[in-house]
Amino acid sequence: MARSRKSTLNLLVKTARVLERQRAAQMRKETLAARAAERAQKEYLRVQVQELKQAEKDRAAQEKLRARLYAEAQIAQVELQNELLQGQIKQLEMLLKQTLSIDDFLDLDKLKQTPTIPIFVPLKFDDTPTKPSIEKYLPPEPTGIKGLIPGSKQKFKQQVETAIEHYQKDLEAYNRKAKAQEQLATEHKAKYDDRVAELRQQTESQNAEIEDFKREFAAGMPEAIVKYFTLVLEASSYPEDFPQEAKIAYVPESKQLVIEYDLPPFEIVPEIGIYKYVKTKDEITTSSRPAAQRKNLYSSVVAQVTIRTLHELFEADRTGQLETIVFNGYVDSIDRGTGRPVRTCLVTVRTTRETFLELDLSKVDPIACLKVLSASLSKSPAELAPVRPVLEFNMVDPRFIEETDVLSSLDQRPNLMELTPSEFESLITNLFEKMGLETRLTQASRDGGVDCVAYDPRPIFGGKVIIQAKRYKHTVGVSAVRDLFGTLQNEGASKGILVTTSGYGKAAFEFANNKPIELLDGSNLLYLLSEHAGIEAKIEPPESWKDPEPDSNPISE
């Protein structure tokens, strides 16, 4: 019994020990699992932190890359703006040299056209009929046993008659449709021929106009001269902001072209000197171009446009229509004091072909070149300091250079060439008195002109003025200008004025250059009479008119 209890106790102890060992094992297992979970959690957190740090690094790198690319883009934009700016400046500096490699002559024959004749495409019909063939309508003739059947021949005859009727109807329908299509095709061809004839006629008419233009230009007709040289100036390539407008007049007696040319305003020279990108402020800033630099460049632009225009006109004239060119350059602006539009002459020059063609334009300084040509250039073009035109454009009166028989017969204006010498003298005296001079006639000269001594009462600018007026049909020679200059020196006068009803040659203009002499031609005289004396006159030398012999003796008071 005791042994049995002991065995039971031992069993219980062993069971308890086993259970204890199992619990301990379970606890160890749970502890290991908890530790493993903790390690896994720590590893997970570590990986997450690393990924966050890497993402932050990547974001920072991307932000840095974006910032670098943005800065590079801004710098590139600034470089482009500066490059365009420098291109503008270079373009302004090269206005004259740009045209020297271009032939400004306009070959009028190249304006002629050859008609572009379209290819004739015959009219096509989707339902073009096929002419019927009688053979396809006729029935086969009965042969063999069929031919022996009673009535077969009669039946065949009827079938033939019926077939012929069908054939005739289809043939008539075919003829009607074929005729209608043929009519449409004929009309289509006729329209094509008419269009070709119209194109040929238009082209022939245009080419005939060009031939007329060539003949009129070769004959020195003022309208053709003006039109040709207008085309020359229009063909000249300038920057987009340049106005490139001009008025042109031509005086055939002296082969003088007078131009009133629109110059670009001062704003054509960029105010901005350079663009800069300030990275710390993330903004593009500008620096102003020095005022002196802008003014100098604008003066150069005015000079370059003047010389360039003279060059283009003389180069385009291969038939000797131009001996002298008068160029007046104007700029339109707003008067800051009045707010009203003003038109200011900034440059004026008169030069002859011979003088101008002696220049080597590839090496000249534009402003210095104008001085050589005795031009008057504004002392400050940027500030619109005006100069007095050597010849006002509106003094070239179109009534003097354009006359027709019909207008002449209806014209009631006095003809200066039909006045008596005393009437002409009174007219000239009256004119200059109206212009503010105190005039006194001298004894008549043998060359039929009017000589007088006048006094300009203005202080500083006034003084003694010698005036000579000559009614000439032909060009006044340089000897008359020399005589006037000699008289001017003999009389101790401050200025000499030579007026003629005709014009002057290039030698006369060259001699008068840089001397206190003013040459007024017929168109100038008509303008002055209208403006200052209220006299509307005309100049029409009679066919029998002969210019008087020059007077070799100087005038006396």
Q: What is the number of other CB atoms lying within 10 angstroms of the CB of residue 198?
A: 11
Confidence check: pLDDT of 406 > 50 = no
Confidence check: pLDDT of 434 > 70 = yes
Q: What is the pLDDT of residue 544?
A: 84
Whether the CB-CB separation of 481 and 498 falls below 8 Å is answered with yes
Confidence check: pLDDT of 287 > 70 = yes
Q: Which H/E stretch holds residue 347?
A: strand 341-352
> Residue 296 and residue 304: Cα distance in Å, rounded?
12
Q: What is the pLDDT of residue 107?
A: 92
The residue-averaged pLDDT of 96-108 equals 94
Q: Which fold has domain 411-533?
A: Trna Endonuclease; Chain: A, domain 1 (3.40.1350)
The residue-averaged pLDDT of 100-106 equals 94
The residue-averaged pLDDT of 171-183 equals 89
Q: Could you tell me which residue, 490 or 246, shows the higher pLDDT?
A: 246
Q: pLDDT-based confidence at 409, cuts 50/70/90?
A: very low
Q: What is the pLDDT of residue 444?
A: 52
Whether the CB-CB separation of 552 and 529 falls below 8 Å is answered with no
Q: Is 34 exposed, middle or buried (0-12, 13-18, 19+ CB in 10 A)?
A: exposed
Confidence check: pLDDT of 449 > 70 = no
- Beta bridge partners of residue 285, listed in sequence order: 276
Let me know how long the chain is.
557
The residue-averaged pLDDT of 484-492 equals 86
Confidence check: pLDDT of 140 > 50 = yes
Q: What is the pLDDT of residue 322?
A: 95
Q: What is the pLDDT of residue 550?
A: 60
Q: Which H/E stretch holds residue 452?
A: strand 450-456
> Residue 153 and residue 139: Cα distance in Å, rounded?
12
Enter the DSSP assignment of 111: G
pLDDT tens across 58-96, in order? 888 888 888 889 988 999 999 999 999 999 999 999 999
Q: What is the pLDDT of residue 405?
A: 34
First to last CA, the chain: 186
Q: What is the pLDDT of residue 410?
A: 41
The residue-averaged pLDDT of 354-371 equals 95
Three-state DSSP state, 395: helix
Q: Which H/E stretch holds residue 343?
A: strand 341-352
Whether the CB-CB separation of 220 and 320 falls below 8 Å is answered with no
> Residue 141 and residue 241: Cα distance in Å, rounded?
94
Rounded to the nearest 10°, the torsion over CA 450, 455, 456, 459 is 160
E-strand stretches of 124-253 = 246-251
pLDDT tens across 14-59, in order? 888 888 888 888 888 888 888 888 888 888 888 888 888 888 888 8
Q: Which H/E stretch holds residue 167?
A: helix 152-218
The residue-averaged pLDDT of 351-373 equals 95
Which of 61-70, 234-243, 374-383 comes out lowest in average pLDDT?
61-70
Q: pLDDT-based confidence at 1, cuts 50/70/90?
A: low
Confidence check: pLDDT of 557 > 60 = no
Domain boundaries, given as residue ranges, for the chain? 96-104+236-395, 110-218, 411-533
The residue-averaged pLDDT of 446-474 equals 76
Which of 48-52, 109-113, 120-124, 401-405 comes out lowest in average pLDDT?
401-405
pTM exceeds 0.75: no
The string over 269-291, giving b where at least 16 C-beta atoms fall within 10 Å of a residue's C-beta and e elsewhere, is bbeeeebebeeeeeeeeeeebee
Confidence check: pLDDT of 552 > 80 = no
Q: pLDDT-based confidence at 148, cuts 50/70/90?
A: low
Q: pLDDT-based confidence at 290, cuts 50/70/90?
A: very high
Q: Which of 461, 456, 455, 518 is nearest to 484 (CA)?
A: 518
Q: Which of 522, 262, 255, 219 is nearest to 397 (CA)?
A: 522
Enter the DSSP assignment of 458: S
Which amino acid type is present at position 188? H
The residue-averaged pLDDT of 148-176 equals 84
Q: What is the pLDDT of residue 402?
A: 37
Q: pLDDT-based confidence at 357, cuts 50/70/90?
A: very high
Confidence check: pLDDT of 448 > 60 = no
Q: Could you tell me which residue, 537 or 103, shows the higher pLDDT?
A: 103
Which of 244-258, 359-373, 392-406, 496-510 comes out lowest in average pLDDT?
392-406
Q: What is the pLDDT of residue 447?
A: 46
Q: What is the pLDDT of residue 277?
A: 93
Q: pLDDT-based confidence at 2, cuts 50/70/90?
A: low
Q: CA 76, 82, 88: angle at the middle one, nearest 5?
A: 140
The number of angstroms, rounded, from the C-alpha of 41 to the middle of its chain's C-alpha atoms is 80
In whole numbers, what is the pLDDT of the chain averaged over residues? 86
Contacts of 31 (CB under 8 A, 6+ apart): none
Portion of the chain with pLDDT greater than 90, in percent: 42
Q: CA–CA distance from 116 to each of 33, 189, 195, 211, 463 (Å)?
A: 98, 17, 11, 20, 69
> Residue 81 and residue 76: Cα distance in Å, rounded?
9
